[in-house]
C-alpha cells in the first residue's frame, strides 16, 4: 500500500481532479489509477458486469444449452480482468459462479447443485476466471510499465536532443532545468564545479541559503545524492544529485519539491538520475570544448609569438644598428666629420628611433587587439576633427604628398573611439604614403553611406595598387604584398586598423582605383543620429580643401 | 621667478629618463632636482621649493594622479605630467586632479621646453589678461571682440566663451570636462558633443583650414589646446 501511495505522487493531481469530472471520464480515471479507494468502485463495477451477464442470460436461457450460458459469465470475467484489475475480476468469477448456480441451474433460484456436471462447469468457470484475471492483470501492468518506460525514454531523448543542440554551458544549464521542470514539474538549480568550488549559474530568482549550499557541497564532495529524500541530510529543501562523468564530478543538480509531502517514486528517481547523467555529459562536453577553444587560442598566440620573433627581430634590430652606428660615429669620429655629415647622422638616428617607436607601438596595439583587450570609449565625434588629428599625427611622414580632405559640413557627430579611429586612419594614411610615389596626391573623404546607416572614411592614393588576389589579405597581420619588400614595414598597420574598425562593429576594405592606386575605406555603423542641440554653422563653400606642402 | 633658469623637480623612477631630462634642461639654465617615488617627490617639494614639477604617472608607490592631488591640497606649483601615448584616462585623471599639462613619451626637447615655458608663464601671471593674440588671431576680452587678420569674426556667445576660456589658458591643454565646466557649467560636464560641435563651428570661423587646425589643436582623447607663442 505504501508503495502505491508513493507511486501515485505523479498522478495525484489528476486523480484529485477526478471527483469533479463526468462519470465516463471518472471511469477511465478509476481504471487507469491504482488507488485503493477505487478498488471498491471497481468491485462494484465487476458485480455490475455479472449482473449484465445474468440479465442477458434470461432471454437466452430457453434457446441455448445451459453450459453455453457460462460463456456470458466468462466474458464478464475477461472484461473485468482486462479493465478492472485482478481483485475485481476474481470477484466477478466468484459472483459469476454463484449467479449461474442461483439463476440457471436446476433447481433454479437456489444455490443447491443437483447435477454433477454443473460442479465441473463451476470449477471450470472459476479456474478460467482466476487464470484470465491473473494474465490480464499482468498484461495490464506490463503495458502500464511499458507506457511509463516509453514516456521516460521520450523525456530522456528530448533532453539529450536539446543538450546536443546546446551551444554553450548556459544553454546546457537552461536545457536541463527546463526539462526537469517539464518532466517532473519541479524547479531545479545547477551548480557547476569551478576547480574545487561549486558555482551557481542560475539567475538570482532561485537563491540557495547557506544550509542548502552545504548540502549541495556535501553531495558534490561525496559523489552521492544528498538532501531531501535521501539518508544524507534529509532536512534540506532540495534533492541533490551529483553530475558524474567517468572522469569527475562536474557539478550538482538540485531539485526543489513543490509539496513537502510528496516524494519521488523509484522510477522517477531513476529517471532523474539519468537526467543527471545526461546533464553531466553535456556539461563536460561544453567544458572540454571550452578548453579546446582556449588551447586553440593559445596555439594561435604561440604562432603569433613565433611570427613576431621571426619577423620582428629583424625589424627591431635594424633601427638599433643604425642608431648605435650613428651615435658611435658622432662620438668617435667627431673630428673628421663636417657639419653636414654630423647633421645627417643625427637626422638618421632620430628617424630610426621614431621608426622603432612606431614599431613598438604597433606591436603593443596588435597584441592588445589579439588579446581582445581594446576598451572602446565611444563618444560622438566630429569626423573632420578625426581626420585632421590623424593627418596631424602623420604630418612628418606626409612629406610632399598633397592631401585633400572632403567632409560635408552637415555630417553629424558619429559615435566612435576618437583615439583608436585616429590611429586606424593614421595607419591607413601611412600605408598610402609608403606605397605611392613622392608628390602624388592623397585624398581623404568622409560621408554617410547606405541611407545614413554607416559612416565611410576613404583614403585614396595614386600608388602602386594591390594585386586583386591580395585585396583582402592586406589586412592579415604580417602580410605584405610580394613586391613591397623594398619598403620597410611590419605588415601590422592595416591589421591594426582592421582590428580597431571591427571592434567598432564596422568593416574595412581595399579596392584598386581604375586610374591606378588604391582606396582603403573604413565603414562604421551609425546606430543613432544624435540630437544635437547646437545648430551647426551653415557654411557656404562646403568642400574644405587643403593642399599639403603649400604655405 | 624668471622664465629662464627655473628650478625643476623631475620625478621618475627610470634613471634613463632622469638622466635625459637633466641633460636636456641644464644647458638652458634650469636647475634639476630628482626624485624617484611619489613620497620622495612630496618631500622634495618641501625641501627644494622647485618652480615646476615634471611628474611621471607610473611611479612605484603613489601614482602620479595621487601625488598631484596631494600637492594641490596646499600648493599651486605647476605640474607637467609624463605619460605613454595610449593612457588617455590616466592623463585626464591627472589633469582633472590639477596637473597643468602633459607630455606623451617619447617627446622632443623642444616640446618639453615649450610646456615648461607655458606652465611657468601661467603660474607667474595668473590674472586674466585683457587681450591675447596668437599669429593672426586676436581676442579682446575687455570688448568681447575677436579679430582675424584685423577682420572682426562674428561668434555665438558660446563660441566666444569657448575661445575665451581656451585663450586664458593659451598653450595649456584643457580637458573636455574642464572646458565643459567652464563654458557650460558643472551640469554639462559630460556633454562632450556640445563641445565637439562648438569647436567644429569655431574652427570653421577662425581656422584658415578647418581640416588642419592651426589655432585650436586637438589633444586626442584628452581635450583641446589653443596655440600660444612660446
| pLDDT tens for each residue of B157-170 | 999 999 999 998 99
Task: For CA atoms A485, A488, A494, A499, give the dihedral sign.
Answer: positive
- pLDDT of res. B148: 93
Contact list in A for residue B210 (CB cut-off 8 A) is: 384, 388, 544
Is residue A218 within 8 A of residue A233, CB to CB? The reply is yes
Interface touch A388/B199, C-beta < 8 Å: no
Coil/strand/helix, residue A211:
helix
Chain A interface, Cβ < 8 Å to B: 353, 357, 361, 364-365, 377, 379-382, 384-385, 387-389, 391-393, 405, 407, 409, 413, 418-419, 422, 530, 532-534, 536-537, 539, 544, 546
Same fold, B7-124 and B131-226: no
Q: What value does the CA radius of gyration of chain A take, rounded to a whole number of Å? A: 44
- pLDDT of res. A202: 63
**What are the 10-residue block averages of pLDDT along chain A, 551 residues in total?**
40 38 44 59 88 88 80 86 81 86 82 78 82 81 85 87 85 86 84 81 68 87 86 84 88 81 77 88 88 86 72 78 89 84 90 87 84 83 93 87 91 91 93 90 92 91 86 80 60 89 92 89 78 40 36 33
- pLDDT of res. A24: 45
Question: Which residues have a Cβ under 8 Å from the Cβ of B128 and sit 6 or more positions away?
Answer: B141, B168
Sheet with A442-449: list strands edge to edge: A403-406, A442-449, A454-460, A518-525, A507-512
Interface touch A384/B209, C-beta < 8 Å: no
Closest to B194 (Cβ–Cβ): which among A361, A418, A533? A533
C-alpha B191: how far from its chain's center? 22
Please state, in angstroms and rounded to a whole number, the distance separating the CA atoms of residues A415 and A490.
30
Phi, psi (rounded to 5 degrees) for B207? -85, 135
Please state, in angstroms and rounded to a whole number, the distance separating the CA atoms of residues A272 and A257.
13
Q: Which of A254, A287, A260, A259 is closest to A272 using CA atoms? A: A254
Sheet with A249-256: list strands edge to edge: A197-200, A188-194, A249-256, A238-244, A226-227
- pLDDT of res. A365: 86
- pLDDT of res. B230: 66
Contact list in B for residue A407 (CB cut-off 8 A) is: 211
Strand B52-56 to B79-84 pairing:
parallel
Coil/strand/helix, residue A521:
strand
Q: Which domains does chain A have, with CATH numbers?
A: 36-159 (no CATH), 166-293 (3.30.450.40), 297-370 (1.10.287.130), 379-525 (3.30.565.10)
Q: Which long-range contacts (CB under 8 A, 24 or more apart) does B60-64 make?
A: B60/B13, B60/B36, B61/B37, B62/B37, B62/B38, B63/B38, B63/B90, B64/B11, B64/B38, B64/B90, B64/B94, B64/B99
Please state, in angstroms and rounded to a whole number, the distance separating the CA atoms of residues A25 and B145.
96
Please state, in angstroms and rounded to a whole number, the distance separating the CA atoms of residues A363 and A490.
9
**B125 backbone φψ class: left, alpha, beta (φ>0; ψ -120 to 50):** beta
Is residue A183 within 8 A of residue A155, CB to CB? The reply is yes
Contact list in B for residue A405 (CB cut-off 8 A) is: 211-212
- pLDDT of res. A532: 43
A261 burial (CB, 10 Å; 0-12 / 13-18 / 19+) is exposed
Class of CATH domain B7-124: alpha beta
Could you tell me which residues are beta bridge partners of residue A155?
A: none
- pLDDT of res. A36: 56
Is residue B105 within 8 A of residue B21, CB to CB? The reply is no
Considering chain B, what is the average pLDDT of its residues? 90
Interface touch A384/B220, C-beta < 8 Å: no
Task: Tell me the three cell numbers of residue B198.
Answer: 562648438
- pLDDT of res. A21: 38
Mean pLDDT of B184-188: 92
Please state, in angstroms and rounded to a whole number, the distance separating the CA atoms of residues A423 and A428.
9
Interface touch A364/B194, C-beta < 8 Å: no
Q: Chain A within 8 Å of B88 (Cβ-Cβ)?
A: yes
- Cα angle B203, B207, B209 (rounded to 5 degrees) comes to 105
Neighbours of A154 (CB within 10 A): 11
Is residue B119 within 8 A of residue B78, CB to CB? The reply is yes
Please state, in angstroms and rounded to a whole number, the distance separating the CA atoms of residues A144 and A276.
25
Interface touch B85/A361, C-beta < 8 Å: yes
Interface touch B209/A418, C-beta < 8 Å: no
Q: pTM (2 decimals)? A: 0.58
Boundaries of every domain in chain B? 7-124, 131-226
Stretch (H or E) spanning B137: strand B137-140
- pLDDT of res. B49: 93
- Cα angle A366, A371, A377 (rounded to 5 degrees) comes to 80
Q: Distance of CA A181 to CAs A159, A174, A175, A505, B32, Å?
A: 12, 11, 10, 39, 75
Cβ pairs A/B, distance under 8 A: 76
Is residue B132 within 8 A of residue B167, CB to CB? The reply is yes
Stretch (H or E) spanning A396: helix A395-398
For residue B207, the distance in angstroms to the closest alpha carbon of chain A comes to 11
Task: Tell me the three cell numbers of residue A124.
Answer: 471450470
Contact list in B for residue A382 (CB cut-off 8 A) is: 196-197, 199-200
Q: Which of B230, B208, B226, B209 is closest to B217 using CA atoms? A: B226
DSSP-H helix ranges across A166-256: 169-184, 210-222
* Mutation target vs B (from A385, A416, A535; most B CBs, 10 A cutoff): A385
pLDDT for B202 beyond 90: yes
Phi, psi (rounded to 5 degrees) for B140? -105, 100
Domain B131-226 fold: Arc Repressor Mutant, subunit A (1.10.10)
For residue A197, the distance in angstroms to the closest alpha carbon of chain B comes to 35
Contact list in A for residue B88 (CB cut-off 8 A) is: 377, 419
Beta-sheet strands, E only, within A134-292: 188-194, 197-200, 226-227, 238-244, 249-256
Cα pseudo-dihedral B123, B124, B128, B129, rounded to 10? -130
Amino acid at each position: 500500500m505504501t508503495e502505491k501511495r508513493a507511486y501515485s505522487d505523479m498522478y495525484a493531481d489528476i486523480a484529485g481532479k477526478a471527483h469533479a469530472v463526468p462519470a465516463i471520464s471518472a471511469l477511465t480515471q478509476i481504471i487507469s489509477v491504482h488507488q485503493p479507494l477505487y478498488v471498491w468502485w471497481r468491485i462494484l463495477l465487476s458485480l455490475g458486469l455479472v449482473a449484465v451477464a445474468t440479465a442477458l442470460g434470461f432471454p437466452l436461457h430457453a434457446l441455448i444449452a445451459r453450459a453455453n450460458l457460462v460463456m456470458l459469465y466468462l466474458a464478464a470475467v475477461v472484461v473485468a480482468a482486462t479493465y478492472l484489475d485482478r481483485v475485481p475480476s476474481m470477484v466477478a468469477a466468484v459472483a459469476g459462479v454463484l449467479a449461474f448456480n442461483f439463476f440457471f441451474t436446476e433447481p433454479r433460484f437456489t444455490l443447491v447443485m443437483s447435477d454433477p456436471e454443473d460442479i465441473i462447469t463451476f470449477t471450470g468457470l472459476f479456474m478460467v476466471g482466476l487464470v484470465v484475471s491473473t494474465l490480464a492483470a499482468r498484461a495490464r501492468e506490463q503495458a502500464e510499465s511499458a507506457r511509463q518506460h516509453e514516456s521516460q525514454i521520450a523525456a530522456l531523448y528530448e533532453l539529450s536532443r536539446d543538450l546536443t543542440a546546446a551551444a554553450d554551458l548556459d544553454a546546457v544549464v537552461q536545457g536541463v532545468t527546463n526539462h526537469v521542470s517539464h518532466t517532473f514539474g519541479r524547479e531545479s538549480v545547477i551548480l557547476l564545479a569551478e576547480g574545487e568550488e561549486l558555482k551557481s549559474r542560475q539567475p538570482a530568482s532561485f537563491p540557495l541559503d547557506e544550509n542548502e549550499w552545504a548540502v549541495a557541497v556535501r553531495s558534490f564532495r561525496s559523489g552521492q545524492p544528498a538532501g531531501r529524500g535521501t539518508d544524507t541530510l534529509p532536512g534540506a529543501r532540495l534533492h541533490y544529485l551529483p553530475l558524474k562523468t567517468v572522469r569527475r564530478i562536474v557539478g550538482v543538480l538540485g531539485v526543489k519539491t513543490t509539496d513537502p509531502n510528496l516524494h519521488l517514486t523509484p522510477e522517477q528517481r531513476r529517471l532523474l538520475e539519468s537526467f543527471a547523467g545526461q546533464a553531466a555529459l553535456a556539461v563536460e562536453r561544453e567544458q572540454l570544448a571550452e578548453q579546446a577553444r582556449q588551447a586553440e587560442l593559445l596555439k594561435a598566440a604561440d604562432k603569433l609569438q613565433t611570427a613576431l620573433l621571426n619577423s620582428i627581430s629583424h625589424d627591431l634590430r635594424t633601427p638599433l644598428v643604425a642608431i648605435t652606428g650613428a651615435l658611435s660615429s658622432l662620438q668617435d669620429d667627431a673630428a673628421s666629420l663636417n657639419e653636414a655629415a654630423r647633421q645627417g647622422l643625427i637626422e638618421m638616428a632620430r628617424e630610426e628611433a621614431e621608426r622603432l617607436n612606431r614599431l613598438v607601438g604597433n606591436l603593443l596595439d596588435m597584441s592588445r587587439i589579439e588579446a581582445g583587450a581594446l576598451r572602446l570609449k565611444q563618444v560622438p565625434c566630429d569626423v573632420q576633427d578625426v581626420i585632421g588629428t590623424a593627418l596631424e599625427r602623420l604630418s612628418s611622414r606626409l612629406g610632399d604628398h598633397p592631401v585633400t580632405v572632403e567632409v560635408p559640413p552637415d555630417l553629424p557627430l558619429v559615435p566612435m573611439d576618437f583615439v583608436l579611429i585616429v590611429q586606424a586612419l593614421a595607419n591607413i594614411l601611412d600605408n598610402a604614403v609608403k606605397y605611392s610615389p613622392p608628390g602624388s596626391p592623397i585624398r581623404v573623404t568622409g560621408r554617410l553611406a547606405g541611407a545614413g546607416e554607416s559612416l565611410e572614411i576613404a583614403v585614396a592614393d595614386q600608388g602602386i595598387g594591390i594585386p586583386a588576389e591580395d585585396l583582402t589579405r592586406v589586412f592579415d597581420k604580417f602580410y605584405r604584398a610580394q613586391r613591397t619588400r623594398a619598403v620597410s614595414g611590419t605588415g601590422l598597420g592595416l591589421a591594426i586598423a582592421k582590428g580597431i574598425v571591427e571592434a567598432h562593429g564596422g568593416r574595412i576594405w581595399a579596392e584598386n582605383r581604375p586610374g591606378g592606386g588604391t582606396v582603403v575605406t573604413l565603414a562604421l555603423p551609425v546606430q543613432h543620429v544624435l540630437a544635437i542641440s547646437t545648430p551647426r554653422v551653415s557654411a557656404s563653400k562646403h568642400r574644405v580643401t587643403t593642399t599639403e606642402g603649400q604655405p | 621667478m624668471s622664465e629662464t633658469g627655473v628650478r625643476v623637480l623631475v620625478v621618475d623612477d627610470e634613471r634613463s629618463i632622469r638622466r635625459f631630462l637633466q641633460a636636456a634642461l641644464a644647458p638652458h639654465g634650469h636647475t634639476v632636482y630628482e626624485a624617484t617615488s611619489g613620497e620622495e617627490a612630496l618631500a622634495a617639494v618641501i625641501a627644494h621649493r622647485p618652480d615646476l614639477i615634471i611628474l611621471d604617472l607610473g611611479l612605484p608607490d603613489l601614482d602620479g594622479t595621487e601625488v598631484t592631488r596631494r600637492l594641490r591640497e596646499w600648493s599651486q606649483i605647476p605640474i607637467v605630467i609624463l605619460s605613454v601615448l595610449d593612457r588617455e584616462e590616466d592623463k585626464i585623471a591627472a589633469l582633472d586632479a590639477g596637473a597643468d599639462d602633459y607630455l606623451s613619451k617619447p617627446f622632443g626637447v623642444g616640446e618639453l621646453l615649450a610646456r615648461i615655458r607655458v606652465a611657468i608663464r601661467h603660474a607667474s601671471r595668473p590674472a586674466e589678461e585683457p587681450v591675447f593674440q596668437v599669429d593672426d588671431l586676436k581676442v579682446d576680452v575687455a570688448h568681447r571682440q575677436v579679430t582675424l587678420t584685423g577682420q572682426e569674426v562674428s561668434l555665438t556667445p558660446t563660441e566666444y566663451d569657448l575661445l575665451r576660456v581656451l585663450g586664458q589658458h593659451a598653450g595649456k591643454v584643457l580637458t573636455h570636462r574642464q572646458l565643459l565646466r567652464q563654458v557650460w557649467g558643472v551640469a554639462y560636464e559630460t556633454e562632450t558633443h556640445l563641445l565637439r560641435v562648438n569647436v567644429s563651428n569655431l574652427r570653421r570661423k577662425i581656422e584658415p583650414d578647418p581640416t588642419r587646425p592651426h589655432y585650436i589643436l586637438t589633444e586626442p582623447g584628452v581635450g583641446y589646446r589653443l596655440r600660444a607663442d612660446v
